[in-house]
Structure formats: C-alpha cells, structure tokens
Chains A and B, each alone.
Chain A
Amino acid sequence: MSKKNPEYDFKWCPGCGDFGVRRAIEYAMIDRLEETGLPIENNVVVAGIGCSGNLVHLIEGGQPYGFHGIHGRSLPIAFGTKMARPDLNVMVVAGDGDFLSIGGEHIGPQAARNLNICAVIMDNGVYGLTKGQSSPTTPLGEITSSTPFGKIESGINPLELYLTLGVSFIASGFSAQPRPLANLITQGMEHSGFSIVHVQSPCTTYNDTFDQLKGNVKKGIEPALWSVPEDHDASDKSAAYGLLQQGGVPVGVVYSDETRLSLDQQVEQMWEKNSSRPLEELLDTFKF
C-alpha cells in the first residue's frame, strides 16, 4: 500500500534485492489471477519480521490479504490460515534470519505435514534491519557487526537443509531476475504441498554480494550462480543432493516430489471416512 499510503514510511535501501522479489511476487499473483480467475484477495501473504517482511506492505496494484506478525512465526501463522481455509492461496515471505534462525524450528514439522503453502525466502546473509549482524547463512570467518573477529560458526546451506527435512518442492532463485523468479514462485504455488523458493537477495548496505553472485569480469570474479541443467531430474532426491554438492548457487527447481499428498488433502480424505457425532449424541455418552 506504499504509494497510496503516505503514513507508511519504511523504505528499502537503493538497489536492495527485495525490490526484485516483490516484483516477482506481483507477477506471480497476477499470473495466478489470469490463470484461475480467482480475485487477488484470495491470496494471503504472511510476512516475517525484518527487511524482507516489509515486502507485504509494498506490493503494488491489487492487494492480497496480509499478516505481518512476529519474528520467526510466519510459518505456523500460515499453517493456521491454510488449514482454516484450504481454498486460499497462502504464501510466506521471510528472510534468512527470520526463517532459518528464530523460525528454524517450524520448517521440519511443516515439511513432515506437507503443508500446502509457498514460502519465498529472501536470503541476504545478514540481519539488515538491525544493522548488519551475522545470520545463519553468513559464511564462516566473515566479519560482521556481531562477529568483530570473524564468524566462528559455519554458514548453513539452506537448500540442503530443506531437502533433508523433507520439503517437497525446493527452488533456488535470484532477485535480479524477477521474471524467471516469478516462474519459480508460480511453480511453487501450483505445487501441491510445502514449497520453498529460496532467493539470493543481496543487501546493498551490509552484504553486497551482487558481484559474487553474477560474477564481475573486470574484477576477475567468477559467478557463483549457475542454471540447473535442463536434464536435471528434480524428482530424484539423490540427484538433488548431487546438484547441491557442486558448489556455487544453482538457479532453478532443485527438487520436486509430486507424489505426496498435501496436509489439506489428507485431512479431506480423513473426513471422508470419519465424521463427528452431533453434540446431543456426544452428551448422551455422559448421561447416567
């Protein structure tokens, strides 16, 4: 609501990767509207706390429902909304700190449940909003405001973590490519089950990794990003692990398991076989 609403004064820094992610999400929602005819308010975007979470306020055009809650809890809020209303398209937008550090405990259970939502994670390897502390994806040895002598904790590989936890759709994207990123998000939304689109979205103020990601010939920097080969079999978990052992950052669909039922589908099947007793009948079981 940024353009309509002068009171909302949060701004991303110039060049922030999150601008591109916002654009990609807008594309994906418009594509969905055109594809399904369902109005934009059929979308619910649950945001984490941090620079990335503010995305939910900055969406331009038709407005989805938004829930900007508390730090680390976007996933279980989305769980409540989706299981209350399986007909809604529920998305999560969060950063690496929100999703992988304080909120890390929620990924495993939702993966096991195969909750049918799409989480778009903006990874900048740093806590931006609190000014430059190390995050779970900050590499070992990196000097940040909270690691003045270098980080002594290993940086994690989120894609490997998702794969190990059993997330059923995993894609990796780059914020500077909004259109291809939108396609990944659309695939994630269409996937029946828990999908994560993990996006490299650099922080131009505290951790500008654009050169490292895209490469810079003048500076002699090789690009870390590389496209997932077309012949990669995303349904093959071993192949997905193999892909992630190759170093750098693959861009594309890493893993996709379309064979599992989503949680809401399982519930629907359960309700076909079981029903509640009317309350009076239930009370009868306590009478004497």
Chain B
Amino acid sequence: MQMRDFVVRFAGEGGQGVVTSAEGLAQTSTQAGYHALTFATFPSQILGGPTWTQARISVNEVLSPGDDVDVLVAFNQEAYDTHHEDVRPEGVVIFNSNEFQLEGDSRGFGLPVEDLAKATGNNRAANMVIIGALAHLVHMPQEFLEEFVTQRFTRGRAGDDQIISSNIAALTSGREHIAASGLSLGDLAPPTRPDWQQVMLKGNEAVSLGSLAAGLEIYAGYPISPATTILLFMERNLVGPGKFAYQVSSEIESITTLLGAGFAGKKAMTATAGPGFSLMSEGLGLGWIAEIPLVVVNVQRGGPATGLPTKTEQSDLMACMYPAHGDVKMPIIAVGTVEECFFGAIKAIEWAERYQGPVVLMTEMSLAERVQNIPRPDLSKVKIDGRKIYTGNNGYRRYAGDELSPMPVPGNPGAYMANGSEHDDFGDTTHLPARHVQMTERRFSKIKLLEEDDYERDRAEESIAFMPWGGSKGPALEAYNQLKEHGVPVGWYYTMFLNPLPPRLLEELKQKELVIVPELNYQGQFASILRSHGVKAEAITQYTGLPFKVRDLVERVTEMTDSSQKETVKA
C-alpha cells in the first residue's frame, strides 16, 4: 500500500542544522507537489540547547504536525534518548554516526553526515545528505530533489554551478548510503501538483504580509518571543514616505504609539506576546474609551509572567477579551492556520477602522514558527472598508449620539478632544451619570458593526458539536475527519471571530446538547465564554506547552459523545 504521508522529526542541539534540515525537507517536498507543515520548538537560549523540529509531508493538505514519528533524525545521543519512544516500532532512526554510535535499536541507521558532506567538497551540504537519505526511505524520485536544489541555488552568481553539483552529490550520497542498508518505509504516493500558485509561509510572515495587504502604515513593537519576527519584517518592509516601523522602548510605548498614530488617521499595529500584552492593558482601555482604531497581535506563548516563552498555549483568551479595567470587551479574531494568519490580519485592520477602536488578533507560537504551503493570496480580492472620516467644519461634536460617528483627522477642521476620561460630545471630561450611560452604551453598540456571517460547519444536524478555536483547529479538524469516518455522531463548527461571534453561529450553538471545545489551557476559557452566552459547552483541555495530538482528541470526543448519549437514554 502506498503511504499518504510521513512524519520526520529532527532533533539535536541548537545550531546543528535541525531547523534548516526540516525546512529543507518541507521545501523540497512542496516543490515536488506535496503538502508540508513544520512544527518547531526551541530552547530559550541563543546557542545550543536541545531543540527539535518536525516536518510532515503529505499527499493531502496537512492539518497537524502528526502524532507518530516515522523517522527520527538524531543529531546526538541526548536527542535519541529524548525522542526515540515517539518513533513508531516499524519506523527508522537515522543517527549522525559522526557524532555518536547507537546500539541495541533495530530501527537505527548510522549516517556519517559530515564525512559524506566533506566528500562532496561542500561542508555545508550536510542537510542535503540527510534529505537524500530521507527521500530514499519513501522512494521519492531523485529528480524532485535535483529540481529543488537547482532552483534554490541558481542565483546568478559565479559559484552557482559548483554549489548545485556538490549539493546534488550530497543528495546522491545520502541516498546511496541508506539504499545499501535495504531500509524502506514504503512508497509515498505521487503528489498531485495543485494548478494554483502557492507560497510557503510561516504564521508570523503571513500576519505581516496580510497587514501590509490591508494598508498598514505605522508599526511599533518591542522584541519578545515568539512575536519578534513580525517586528523585524516590518522594519525591513514597512518602508517609504508615510510609513514608519520602529522598535520602541517597551510595550507601553508600543500601545501608546499606536494610540497617537491611530488618532492621527493612520492604520497602526503592534505584535507582542503575553508579558507585553499585559503591559498594554491600560492603553487598550484608552483606545476603547477614546475610540481610536489600532490592532494588537498577541502571539500566545505559555504560562503567566515569563512562563514558557518558546512553547505554545491558548491561555490568553480571557486576558485578550477583557484586558482592561472598566467595562471593556475587545473584538477578537483568533486564527487557526497559516492562511488564516494572512486573512485574519486583514480583517483585524478592517475591523479596527470600521468600528474605530482596538482589535486583538490572537495567534500562537505553534502557528508563528510553523512553515506551511498555502495558496498564494489573491491581492486583487483584498478590499478594505476604510475609516469613516469627518469632512465638515470646526465645532464638531465627535462623540455625539449613540453610535459610530465620523472621525476627524488632525490638521483638518473638526478639532476635538480624544479623551481617556469619561467625556461629553466634544470630548471634554464630564462625570455626569447620564453621559457615562450614553457613552458606555455607544461604545458597546459599535461592536455590532463587526458581526460577520461566515463560519464553518459540517453535519449541523448532530446535537453534539465539536468546535475548536485558534491553532487547535488543525489537529481538531483531522480528529473530526476520523470521528466522522468512525461514525461518531458529532458535528463541526469553527470561526475565527470570537468576539463578536457570528450571530447565526451563536444561535445554532445554543440549540446543541453539547459543544465540545478543545483548547490549550487549564480553565477551558472559550468553553466558559460560550457558557456565558448560554451554550452548553465543555472543554477538552491540555496544558503541556505542546499542541494536541489527533489521537487524544479522537479518544476524548468519543468518550464525551458516548457518555452524553448514555445520559440522553437515561433521561
């Protein structure tokens, strides 16, 4: 039988080429027409430290990193010790025999990676030795690999030919070396190249590109894992007259900079993670009360305070929705795939402009650093409803009325006071009860402008629904597909709009006997929010710093549907 997908985990010391090998394999495979997804976890140190990256290559779209490892590439003994139990019994362990010797594991195969690379005359081709060996294990045709190498190293430079030939030699040498052993995993089914254009992106790159597509003008940020790469992208690419990207001195500066820029009429964004987000609390409240458009991207990591800077978790939902003192509830878009990172960023900027206030875009570590092939976004279809702008004379009552009003742009008539104190129509401070009532209701009424119609659903007739949010979407969808195949009576719902929830979706969920929410936190935060809306929701929680395994979700959902059905029978 042909294999539909295979999972390779690369493990070793930071700096040994773990990430580059995994991404190289993903790129090679996507070039050939396969789908690929990498999942990375990093040590919290600059050089060294145990690190691993998993690449999953598939004939179909890849939804999760994969539960079981087919091949472990162990760069050192510690990597083998840590990870070998995750390799399935009929799998293969390729170990770097230049680094250590492995005995007593029948799955083991020693590859003298550095020696083979050196023999090609190109020490830097070590990754290609490994990729060549891996390709042989699943009988991926050599021409796919050669095509990739040729394309990658054709850069119009004098040494190109030599680099290409040495890399091809490295591929061949890895392949021939493992072929002699007779090891094989089977035949990977041939890929079907999609007839649309594709791009290979990390989640953070997709967020960055999406925000540029939405016309982002001002970016302020402070380095913090795992959001830093968005800052770096912006400093490099948000360039030119009218644009400004800057590393400021704290997250308090980030949020207040956006407030000043949004007030000045610009589309403004920052990206941060938990600790930085906490520092933005007061500023988000100011954006809410003064009605200033801006977007904060929270690339979630794990735990409170410094917590788990390089692991993944979905534990900031409550903090993002209710970040500030006073009656405040942030609009939330939580993305679940690399593709959604792109379109979610566009939507977040559009929302901020549309309702004139702050919007929180939630993503997470497992998406930020994941590399995935996605259809190339069609920029011609990106349409942004701009901000409603005031064009009248001076003497404008900017905050008059119970709903959204056009926003003046400094430099033009319509001067007013953007005020963080409760205020009257002009924006002047007042503490009159009737004003606080009017302004509070005005601010909440604007949220209605963000109600969307679209959401995913499947088997809506089932009385039990399975509904993930954010980055748990991938493993949950894969689990759902299996549950459906097994005939487990459960339906599927998903949206990236968590506040406001699409109203029709909420109505449907309220009709369910049970809505099962898988989420990576202890408290079951989204399930709890759904219950506050009157939905009978229960969470499947996990708080290991790692994504869900598909197998675990299938098991838990099956249990929950069984017991729910038993209760129904009893009743």
Q: Which residues of A contact B (CB under 8 A)?
A: 1, 5, 7-10, 39-42, 44, 46, 49, 54, 56-57, 63-70, 73, 76-85, 87-88, 105-106, 108-109, 267-268, 271, 274-277, 279-280, 282-283, 286-288
Contacts and interface: CB of A to CB of B under 8 A. Distances in A.
A68 B429 contact: yes
Question: Could you say which of A9, A64, A268, A282 has the most chain B C-beta atoms within 10 Å of its C-beta?
Answer: A282
A42 B160 CA distance: 56
Nearest to B410: A65
B272 interface: no
A69 B286 contact: yes
Contact of B240 (A73, A109, A271): A271
Given A83-B244, A85-B411, A276-B243, A76 B416 contact: no
Contacts of B205: 286
Question: Could you say which of B209, B257, B282, B414 has the most chain A C-beta atoms within 10 Å of its C-beta?
Answer: B257
B426 interface: yes
Given A57-B417, A69-B286, A288-B31, A80 B429 contact: no
A5 B412 CA distance: 22
B517 interface: no
Contact of A5 (B30, B285, B379, B426): B426
Interface string B366-385: 00000001001101000000
Interface string B192-222: 0000011111000100010011000110100
B414 A73 contact: no
20 contacts: A7-B430, A10-B429, A49-B420, A54-B429, A65-B417, A68-B417, A68-B429, A69-B290, A70-B420, A79-B248, A84-B260, A85-B265, A85-B266, A267-B244, A276-B238, A279-B209, A282-B209, A283-B376, A287-B200, A288-B373
Contacts of B283: 70, 73
Given A68-B420, A76-B260, A283-B376, A41 B212 contact: no
Given A70-B256, A283-B377, 20 more contacts: A5-B424, A5-B426, A42-B411, A63-B394, A66-B415, A67-B263, A67-B417, A69-B256, A69-B286, A73-B283, A80-B256, A81-B261, A84-B260, A84-B265, A84-B266, A105-B252, A276-B237, A276-B238, A279-B213, A283-B209
Given A5-B424, A42-B411, A286 B237 contact: no
A108 B253 CA distance: 12
A78 B410 CA distance: 13
A276 to B, nearest CB: 4
Interface in B247-263: 248-250, 252-253, 256-263
A84 B238 contact: no
Given A1-B417, A7-B428, A65-B410, A287 B218 contact: no
Contact of B261 (A64, A83, A275): A83
B259 A69 contact: yes
B240 A288 contact: no
B546 interface: no
Interface string B294-328: 00000000000000000000000000000000000
Nearest to B260: A80
B248 A109 contact: yes
B484 interface: no
B16 interface: no
B418 interface: yes
B239 interface: yes
A77 B260 contact: yes
Contacts of B264: 44, 80-81, 84-85, 88
A287 B256 contact: no
A282 B237 contact: yes
B415 A76 contact: no
Contact of B416 (A9, A66, A78): A66
A83 B428 contact: no
A88 B410 contact: yes
B428 A57 contact: yes
B435 interface: yes
A8 B428 contact: yes
B268 interface: yes
B121 interface: no
A49 B429 CA distance: 12
A277 B265 CA distance: 24
A73 B428 CA distance: 19
Nearest to B417: A66
The 8 closest A-B pairs by CB, nearest first: A80-B260, A76-B256, A80-B257, A81-B260, A84-B264, A84-B261, A8-B428, A80-B261
B101 interface: no
B542 interface: no
B415 A63 contact: yes
B543 interface: no
Contact of B263 (A81, A108, A283, A287): A81
Given A7-B430, A76-B260, A41 B410 contact: yes
A240 B559 CA distance: 77
Contacts of A67: 259-260, 263, 290, 417-419
A40 B415 contact: yes
B410 A79 contact: no
Nearest to A71: B282
A9 B430 contact: yes
B432 interface: yes
Contacts of B262: 80
B37 to A, nearest CB: 14
Nearest to A66: B417
B420 A288 contact: no
A7 B435 contact: yes
B239 A274 contact: yes
A76 B429 contact: no
A77 B258 CA distance: 8
B392 interface: no
Interface in B375-427: 376-377, 379, 394, 408, 410-421, 424, 426-427
Question: Could you say which of A44, A88, A268 has the most chain B C-beta atoms within 10 Å of its C-beta?
Answer: A44
B472 interface: no
B383 to A, nearest CB: 15
A83 B266 CA distance: 10
Contact of B237 (A7, A42, A79, A277): A277
